[in-house]
Amino acid sequence: MIKVFTSPYIMDVEVVRGELESQGIATRLNHEFIRGQTNMAGFADIWPEVWVVNESDAPEAARIIARGKTPTEAPDWTCPQCGEEVEGQFTSCWNCGHDRPA
């Protein structure tokens, strides 16, 4: 196993883990239950961490993580269900709840 990501914020760690898992990369979390003042510099050694189970997946994990740090703007889209114009950052229609087409 190899550590690929750490953050003082558990939500950041969960987002990264979820993205890696959705791409077929097996992960484990470390320190996920530690709460409190983990965002202080002296506590960096106990921040929540994402570990990749298979070290051979580490380069791909690093690419996925780097891609996530680079914001991309999705174009606006029209809902195929109700015809509503939806801003690009949304993955479902605000009007009817239909998912954005792939």
pLDDT tens digits for range 46-55 = 788 999 999 9
Distance CA 6, CA 22 (A): 19
Instruction: Report the C-alpha gap between 54 and 24 in whole angstroms.
Output: 11
Segment 54-81, tens digit of pLDDT: 999 999 999 999 887 755 567 889 999 9
Q: Which domains does the chain have, with CATH numbers?
A: 2-69 (3.30.70), 72-102 (no CATH)
11 near 35, Cβ under 8 Å? no
The pTM assigned to this predicted structure is 0.59
Closest of 33, 61, 57 to residue 47, by C-alpha: 33
Question: Rounded to 5 degrees, what are φ and ψ at 26?
Answer: -70, 135
